[in-house]
Amino acid sequence: MFSHKKIRKGIRMKKEEIVKEFKKLLVEVVDVDENKITGDAHFFKDIGIDSLKAIEITVAIERRFKINVRDEQIPQITTLNQAVSAIEKALQEKNA
Amino acid sequence: MRKKRVVITGVGPISSIGMGQEAFWNGLLNNQDHIREHKEYIGKELWETFRYHKIENFDIHQFGIDRDKLKRIKDWKEGEENEDLNYLLASVKLALDDGKIKNTNDYRIGLVLAHENIGLMPFGLKISGLAYDMLIGKSAQVLGKKDFYAVFYEQFIKSGYDVQGFPNLFHVTQTFDIKNFSLFVNNACASGLYAMETASQIIKNDQSDIVITAVSDHSDIYKYVWFKEIGIYSEKGYMSPFSKNADGILIGDGAAGVMLEDYEHAQKRGAFIYAEYLGGGFDLENWKITVPQIGSQSYQSAIKKALQQSSVAVKDIDVLCAHGVGKKTIDGYESKAITDVFGKNPKDLAITAFKGYLGHTLGASALLETIIILLMMKNNKIIASKNCEDVDPQHHLRLVEKTKECQIKTVMKICCPFAGFNAAVLLKKG
């Protein structure tokens, strides 16, 4: 089943699916080379995403995964791994 | 019923660079700021050190306010001082004096008061001290849970009561004998603009002929700690809106009182008119409290609504006074909104940002900066944007770099505060 259908239906997503969906989102929002998006690559230092784009990414995460990212989490999401971890946690809380 | 016009007939600035119109204006002309380092001690232990824009030598008794009325407030508060309230009182008195209102009972005067967090600091310190004494300190007692709650309640309730808006509204209306429609509002840093719009509507609905708006903010340790924790406090020690080295805010003490009045009423009594309040535009972003939604059109919408409400075209605006917070994300959010509406590097529009002089006076900022606009209009002079010599080209904005003579007719003040209460108002000199 496509990821967006799983999200809409509240069906648990596997981590790999979240990673894939997030990478797709990142490419759409920031127009970045997907090969640069590795687990610990820093958005600002390694991928060239600035702080404004980082907030746009948060907006897109919320829309795509239908979750709420708390204010204080936003500056903490600076790598793929951190983003996926935050999304996983929010989805678990939502589906609990 | 005739369609009323609303004008501004009195101002009362309280700031770190000067209290009262003359001192305040001179502080701006002389490119001043008054940044001081503060060490916050709890007992003998140092908690934090921070820089902020500090008001020195403020004495509530220097403004000619009825001393008996001030004593009533002190009696209610059992001697506890509240500088936020004192700043409000002083700014209201200055505005009334500037507007030549000697006896408020001769007019239908209302009040719109605003504050982001009045009474929070004294309350916070008081309950922290109480909790420490009762649980850990010398007077620690062995109490059951219910008795602990009861004892604690008796100690903190007075301070806690004054964290609410209405007792402070009461203190101000009682002090100045204001008997007409009155309101307490809180829209974060845009409170002053919401207050002016509210005042305008009160006048247009014939509830009052005059409405004083007043907002204040006294800097304190809690504000510093909170802004530092969310990564918004400047480490370099001064504010530089839209600049390459922008790294956040410095908080600042401040208060503003602005008197709005029905135009015909003002004319009849021969009042000096600073400008007409043409109208405002307001748009709620409804996303986060401390982060603007990059990519939204909310701020643009507030600006366009203000133009529409006021029947003013973009080309008719001489000066735009930005919120200018000096934090890259918020500056970027704001510059996008400005350029979306006015175009990139708009040629015939003077853009200014004033927080380099005053710091971020939080709830008071929009109204205090409105007073700067009104004084610019009165004195035919535009004030430079302080610390903005090296604007980041990504913003596509040119800021006013030098204070200079200038005929100013129509000015827009905009604000993109926390919680997305985006606002824009228009003022026009007669």
Which residues of chain B have a CB within 8 Å of the CB of A59?
Answer: 287, 293-295
Instruction: Determine the angle formed by the axes of helices B67-76 and B165-176, rounding to 10 degrees.
Output: 160
Query: For residue B413, what is the enclosing H or E element?
Result: strand B410-415
Task: Pick from B247, B290, B291 the residue to mutate for testing the A interface (most A CBs within 10 Å).
Answer: B291
CA gap B385, B35 in Å, rounded: 17
Question: Smallest Cβ distance to A71: which of B289, B332, B333?
Answer: B289
Which of B292, B250, B337, B228 has its CA nearest to residue B52? B250
In this structure, are B70 and B98 located in the same domain? yes
DSSP state of B402: S
Which of B111, B145, B161 finishes a domain? B161
pLDDT at A10: 60
How confident is the model at residue B157, as a pLDDT?
Answer: 77
Same domain, B233 and B275: yes
Report CB contact under 8 Å: B294, A71.
no
Identify whether residues B297 and B344 lie together within a single domain. yes
Q: What's the CA gap between B315 and B327, in Å, rounded? A: 28
| Residue B347 falls inside a structural domain | yes
pLDDT tens digits, one per residue of B384-418: 999 998 999 999 999 999 999 999 999 999 999 99
Residue B152 located in a structural domain: yes
Domain match, B331 and B359 both: yes
DSSP A33: -
Q: Is the same domain home to B29 and B89?
A: yes
Q: Does the beta-carbon distance from A71 to B230 stay under 8 Å? A: yes
Residues B376 and B299 in one domain: yes
Residues of A in contact with B294 (CB under 8 A): 52-53, 55-56, 59
**Confidence at residue B80, expressed as pLDDT on a 0 to 100 scale:** 84
CB within 8 Å: A72 and B230: yes
ipTM: 0.88
Task: Read off the pLDDT band of A4 (50, 70, 90).
Answer: low
- Interchain pair B328, A71: CB under 8 A: no
Give the rounded percent of residues in chain B with a pLDDT score beyond 90. 87
Domain count, chain B: 2
Q: Do A71 and B333 touch (CB under 8 A)?
A: no
For the cut 90, the answer to whether the pLDDT of residue B304 exceeds it is: yes
pLDDT in tens, B147-185: 888 888 887 777 777 888 999 999 999 999 999 999 999
Is there a domain that residue B239 lies in?
A: yes
Residues in chain A closer than 8 A to B293 (CB atoms): 55, 59
Same domain membership, residue B89 and residue B180: yes
**pLDDT number for residue B209:** 98
Q: What is the pLDDT of residue B208?
A: 97
Residue finishing a domain among B107, B135, B161: B161
Report pLDDT digits (tens) over B78-92: 888 899 999 999 999
pLDDT digit string (tens) for B269-303? Answer: 999 999 999 999 999 999 999 999 999 999 999 99
Please tell me if residue B395 touches chain A, with a CB cutoff of 8 Å.
no
Q: What is the pLDDT of residue B417?
A: 98
The answer to whether the beta carbons of residues B331 and B395 sit under 8 Å apart is yes
Q: Are B186 and B303 in the same domain?
A: yes
Confidence check: pLDDT of A7 > 80: no
pLDDT in tens, B140-150: 567 788 888 88
What is the residue range of B140's domain? 122-161
More confident residue, B235 or A14: B235
**Any domain includes B102:** yes
Mean pLDDT to the nearest integer, A83-89:
94
Q: In terms of domains, do B97 and B152 share one?
A: no
pLDDT at A27: 92
B28-43 pLDDT per residue, tens? 999 999 999 999 999 9
**B268 and B129 in one domain?**
no
Task: Give yes or no for a contact between B403 and B384, defined as CB atoms under 8 angstroms apart.
Answer: yes
Asked whether the beta carbons of residue B292 and residue A75 sit closer than 8 angstroms, the reply is: no
* Torsions phi, psi for B380 (to 5 deg): 50, 50
Q: Do B295 and A75 touch (CB under 8 A)?
A: no
Whether B169 is covered by a domain: the verdict is yes
B230/A59 touch (CB, cutoff 8 Å), yes or no: no
- Residue A11 has a pLDDT of 62
B151, part of any domain: yes
Residue B316 has pLDDT above 90, yes or no: yes
In a domain, B1, yes or no: no
Strands (E), B133-243: 182-185, 210-217
- Do B99 and B167 share a structural domain? yes
Predicted confidence (pLDDT) per residue in A63-82, tens digit:
999 999 999 999 999 999 99
pLDDT in tens, A30-60: 888 888 888 899 998 988 899 999 999 999 9
What's B75's domain CATH number? 3.40.47.10
Asked if residue B151 and residue B172 are part of one domain, the reply reads no
| Segment B341-350, tens digit of pLDDT | 999 999 999 9
Domain end (from B99, B134, B161) = B161
Is the separation of the CB atoms in B293 and B420 below 8 Å?
yes
Tokens coding B190: 């845009």
- State how far the Cα of A96 lies from the Cα of B97, in Å rounded to an integer: 61
Band of residue A9 on the pLDDT scale cut at 50, 70, 90: low
Query: How far does the CA of residue A65 sit from the closest CA of chain B (Å)?
Result: 16
A44, A50, A64, A71, best to mutate vs chain B, most B CBs in 10 Å: A71
Q: Does B14 map to a domain?
A: yes
